């Protein structure tokens, strides 16, 4: 019988024994129907993310911090520390960055991402990461909303960034990661800034970031609507990093004779890849193996060339590795722990992947949101119920509420709400969105249907949100509808998710055409494709006479799905 069999009496006993260790002499559920974390509380220091990242640097200063999985280009911890000090000093001295200025980072996964992040934080900047596949229109929107003062990018995307600056009528410095020394016209050399040995780094003493100060400003659609700036403080991020160092720790400690290696294939601009993989694993001295772009052949080469110990994946990558013949078991023999997040993953896909691994390999699903910095729940080593996403992190609390915000009890399904030190400060300049997402006393509505069992383990049942999940990416229907309506022939539009074998879901648009206007499916899809990243592009278009809406004007997407999909 397969080793991952889920619902057996033996498994239930093992599960209870495991949880019994966690919650020994502790009640997870309170009398008010609030589920507490079974993990020990942590102390959260009032320091900046930059300070936390180098707290123990001397323990692994000479070890490799990051290596490009394709080129082998690598840096030690002390090299990244030195470069980020120089970069931070030059950002303040030469480029006049001040405390609280927003710095845009539009880069693929690469070792230099770390220097860029830490250098920007050293300078007192707030980092707003961007998808390198964004169009000029998408970049322009984020530049404007975040009031970005400076942006990092690579040569391949310089023209797109310049077009975005024209659209936003902004003139800000563009720093290009130019490792070969070549530099596009009108840009600034990253190489010169980080190799400037004469810059006085004492200027960084002017920076005095506190826990309550903002550190990151990623953009997320939250539970619905257009992208919003998620204000993450130093305390939010530091808390989420330390929360991963407790009983749910998945890495082995870095010593003189041992260093875990982690695959960095998740986008570093995405909060999951940014915090859980990049920042956290750097903070504990691991070797980060970066994957700049997913291509089957190069991905398999990376698996074969590095003895990787930890994977943090999205469902499509798990499915790929389980089904792709060239991903051989011998490439995965050093794997100790695999965490899957970003979207639910069927047990059959997990078992197909696990068939290539050693029996001792640990596989879990985790859960989080950009608004939770992002990790909200995780599982301890030994958890084997792949239908669950783990337990609330230390210092965190969960509630399940009904439509009237009343608390429900164990194993009852309702909306999951979360409270903890990793919950965002709020959405930037958006009081209406904050009013919708926050309940009393700092409880965050997730927009997800879930249940919490008697031990505190969470199962995500369904999504209340209207976001379309394409691979691990969020596609807000409202954004695509807005783009569709920019077409001169379109009177009204609605976008819904439809199933897709490869990506999980894909966007489909329903279009109402203006009187006498002539337009076809290809016209609409081409128009949208020029204005959004590839994963957001429409895959189907249907023309209808009227978009169904409720009395308040809200689109009834479920009606469209039931009638046409």
Of the pLDDT bands very low, low, confident and very high (cuts 50, 70, 90), residue 474 is confident
* pLDDT value for 325: 92
Residue 348 confidence (pLDDT) above 80: no
- Look at residue 526 and tell me if it is in a domain: yes
- Look at residue 525 and tell me if it is in a domain: yes
Kindly give, in sequence order, each residue whose CB lies less than 8 Å from that of residue 506, ignoring residues fewer than 6 positions away.
468, 470, 497, 498, 499, 500, 539, 540
Cα–Cα distance for residue pair 319/355, rounded to 1 Å: 12
Cα–Cα distance for residue pair 342/367, rounded to 1 Å: 7
Residue 482 confidence (pLDDT) above 70: yes
- Look at residue 518 and tell me if it is in a domain: yes
Kindly give, in sequence order, each residue whose CB lies less than 8 Å from that of residue 536, ignoring residues fewer than 6 positions away.
470, 473, 475, 479, 480, 507, 528
User: Containing H/E element for 433?
Assistant: helix 431-437
* pLDDT value for 14: 42
List pLDDT tens digits, range 400-410.
999 899 999 99
- Look at residue 537 and tell me if it is in a domain: yes
Q: Mean of the pLDDT values across residues 407-416? A: 95
As to burial, measured by CB atoms within 10 angstroms (0-12 exposed, 13-18 middle, 19+ buried), residue 138 is: buried
Cα–Cα distance for residue pair 64/87, rounded to 1 Å: 20
Of the pLDDT bands very low, low, confident and very high (cuts 50, 70, 90), residue 22 is low
Q: What percent of the chain has pLDDT over 70?
A: 93
Residue 74 confidence (pLDDT) above 70: yes
List pLDDT tens digits, range 103-117.
999 999 999 999 999
Q: Which domain holds residue 555?
A: 468-564
* pLDDT value for 232: 98
* pLDDT value for 381: 81
Q: What percent of the chain has pLDDT over 90?
A: 77
Phi/psi at 524 (5° precision): -65, -45
Number of structural domains in the chain: 1
For the range 493-498, what are the long-range contacts, defined as Cβ-Cβ under 8 Å and sequence gap of 24 or more?
493/547, 494/547, 494/555, 494/557, 494/560, 495/468, 495/538, 495/557, 496/468, 496/557, 496/560, 496/561, 496/565, 497/468, 497/469, 497/561, 498/539, 498/540, 498/561, 498/565
Radius of gyration from C-alpha coordinates of the chain: 24
The lowest-confidence range among 8-12, 48-52, 546-550 is 8-12
Of residues 393 and 348, the one with the higher pLDDT is 393
pTM for this model (two decimals): 0.86
Residue 27 confidence (pLDDT) above 60: yes
- Look at residue 501 and tell me if it is in a domain: yes
Residue 19 confidence (pLDDT) above 70: no
Of the pLDDT bands very low, low, confident and very high (cuts 50, 70, 90), residue 223 is low
Q: Mean of the pLDDT values across residues 255-274? A: 96
Q: Mean of the pLDDT values across residues 421-441? A: 96
As to burial, measured by CB atoms within 10 angstroms (0-12 exposed, 13-18 middle, 19+ buried), residue 179 is: middle
- Look at residue 491 and tell me if it is in a domain: yes
Residue 534 confidence (pLDDT) above 80: yes
- Look at residue 402 and tell me if it is in a domain: no
Instruction: Please report, for the domain that includes residue 560, its CATH number.
Output: 3.30.300.30
Closest CA to 229 of 120, 343, 322, 104: 104
- Look at residue 534 and tell me if it is in a domain: yes
Residue 426 confidence (pLDDT) above 70: yes
Q: Mean of the pLDDT values across residues 518-547? A: 96
Average pLDDT, the chain: 91
- Is the preceding peptide bond at 129 cis, omega within 30 degrees of 0? no
The lowest-confidence range among 336-345, 527-536, 556-565 is 336-345
Kindly give, in sequence order, each residue whose CB lies less than 8 Å from that of residue 255, ignoring residues fewer than 6 positions away.
none
List pLDDT tens digits, range 294-340.
899 999 999 999 999 999 998 878 888 998 999 999 999 999 999 98
* Residue 312 near residue 266 (C-beta atoms within 8 A): yes
* pLDDT value for 429: 96
Cα–Cα distance for residue pair 211/221, rounded to 1 Å: 25
* Residue 346 near residue 439 (C-beta atoms within 8 A): no
Look at the alpha carbons of 88, 92, 97, 98 in this order and tell me if their dihedral is positive or negative.
positive
* pLDDT value for 26: 57
* pLDDT value for 136: 97
């Amino acid at each position: 019988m397969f080793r991952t069999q889920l619902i057996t009496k033996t498994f239930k006993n093992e599960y209870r024994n495991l949880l019994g260790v966690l919650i020994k002499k502790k009640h997870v559920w309170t009398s008010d129907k609030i589920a507490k974390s079974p993990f020990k509380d942590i102390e959260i220091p009032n320091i900046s993310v930059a300070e936390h990242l180098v707290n123990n640097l001397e323990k692994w200063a000479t070890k490799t911090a990051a290596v490009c999985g394709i080129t082998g280009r690598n840096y030690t911890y002390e090299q990244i520390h030195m470069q980020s000090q120089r970069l931070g000093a030059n950002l303040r001295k030469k480029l006049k960055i001040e405390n609280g200025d927003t710095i845009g980072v539009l880069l693929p996964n690469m070792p230099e991402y770390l220097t860029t992040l830490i250098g920007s934080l050293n300078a007192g900047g707030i980092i707003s990461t961007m998808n390198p596949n964004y169009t000029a229109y998408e970049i322009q929107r984020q530049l404007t909303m975040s009031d970005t003062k400076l942006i990092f990018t690579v040569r391949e995307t310089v023209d797109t960034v310049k077009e975005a600056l024209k659209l936003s009528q902004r003139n800000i410095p563009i720093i290009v990661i130019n490792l070969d020394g070549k530099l596009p016209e009108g840009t600034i050399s990253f190489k010169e800034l980080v190799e400037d040995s004469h810059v006085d780094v004492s200027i960084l003493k002017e920076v005095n970031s506190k826990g309550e100060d903002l550190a990151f400003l990623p953009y997320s659609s939250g539970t619905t609507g257009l992208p919003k700036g998620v204000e993450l403080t130093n305390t939010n991020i530091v808390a989420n990093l330390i929360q991963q160092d407790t009983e749910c720790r998945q890495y082995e400690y870095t010593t003189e004779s041992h260093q875990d290696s982690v695959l960095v294939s998740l986008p570093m601009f995405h909060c999951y890849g940014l915090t859980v993989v990049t920042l956290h694993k750097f903070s504990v001295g691991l070797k980060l193996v970066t994957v700049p772009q997913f291509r089957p052949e190069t991905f398999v080469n990376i698996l074969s060339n590095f003895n990787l110990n930890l994977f943090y994946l999205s469902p499509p990558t798990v499915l790929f590795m389980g089904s792709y013949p060239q991903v051989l078991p011998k490439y995965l023999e050093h794997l100790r722990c695999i965490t899957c997040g970003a979207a639910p993953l069927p047990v059959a896909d997990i078992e197909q992947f696990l068939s290539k691994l050693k029996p001792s390999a640990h596989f879990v699903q985790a859960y989080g949101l950009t608004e939770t910095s992002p990790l909200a729940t995780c599982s301890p080593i030994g958890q084997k119920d792949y239908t669950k996403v783990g337990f609330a992190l230390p210092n965190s609390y969960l509630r399940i509420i009904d439509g009237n915000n009343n608390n429900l009890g164990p194993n009852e399904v309702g909306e999951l709400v979360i409270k903890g030190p990793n919950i965002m400060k709020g959405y930037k300049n958006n009081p209406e969105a904050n009013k919708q997402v926050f309940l009393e006393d700092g409880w965050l509505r997730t927009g997800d249907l879930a249940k919490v069992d008697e031990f505190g383990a969470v199962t995500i049942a369904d999504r209340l949100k209207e976001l379309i999940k394409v691979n691990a990416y969020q596609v807000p229907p409202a954004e695509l509808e807005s783009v569709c309506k920019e077409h001169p022939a379109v009177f009204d539009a609605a976008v819904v998710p439809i199933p897709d074998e490869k990506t999980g879901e894909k966007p489909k648009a329903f279009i109402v055409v203006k009187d006498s206007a002539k337009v076809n499916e290809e016209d609409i899809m081409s128009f949208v494709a020029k204005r959004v990243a590839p994963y957001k592009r429409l895959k189907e278009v249907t023309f209808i006479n009227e978009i169904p809406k409720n009395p308040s004007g809200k689109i009834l997407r479920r009606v469209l799905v039931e009638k046409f999909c």
